[in-house]
A = this chain, B = another copy of it.
Amino acid sequence: MPQLTNRQMKAQQTKQRILVTALSLFSQKGYDNVTVDEIVSTSGASKGAFYGHFNSKYEIFLEKFKEIDNFYIHIEEELKNISTAEEKIVQLALRQMDYLKEELGDELMRTLYINALTPDAHNFLADRNRSLYVIIEQILKEGQTSGELDPAFNSNEITLIISRCMRGTLFDSFIFTEKIDLDKEIEQMLRLIFSGLKMSHQ
């Protein structure tokens, strides 16, 4: 790490102050009910400082999300005793959902999805190197080796499809007004992908 000058240290403090204040306000009042002006005045900073450190109001909350990706550090360990790939992926998905719900809550998740759709914004969901992808693909490959899953599939493509259908489920949970039981829906969807719709011709 490079030696920071006094100035840079102060700047980092300002950034941190803004970040902490903002996240606290978000969780108190909800993302949409917090204005940048409010963040700035509460944290004793200025617009200039804010936009010097963050490119947008949305980006500030990406910081939180980065931190959340730490979730995946532990998860691999926890999945070790599960025997089938299907079960592993179902468990991975369910735990992830719970974690996100708890850490971010509904409204911030929705915000994340909205902003993923706005062009140019740093896009977290679309980062193919996300731990999520790495883990899913790993599990799939193991399943193929063990004979559980059809080795004809390209594990990379399937990884993308699975995560995509998970995004679809999240998306639906936001757009349907009837509250959706996310756990149930995710599991149902995954089981379907593993078993298929067709009659098994045994």
Contacts and interface: CB of A to CB of B under 8 A. Distances in A.
Contact of A169 (B86, B168, B196): B168
Contacts of A147: 199
Interface string A164-196: 111111011011110000000100110011111
Size bin of chain A's contact surface? 35 or more
This protein's copies in its complex? 2
Contacts of A118: 114
Q: Name the prevailing secondary structure of the A interface residues.
A: helix
A49 interface: no
Contacts of A164: 165, 168-169, 171-172, 189
26 contacts: A86-B197, A86-B198, A110-B119, A113-B171, A114-B118, A117-B175, A126-B176, A147-B199, A148-B198, A148-B199, A150-B200, A161-B165, A161-B188, A161-B189, A161-B192, A164-B165, A164-B168, A164-B171, A165-B168, A167-B168, A168-B171, A171-B171, A194-B198, A195-B196, A196-B196, A200-B201
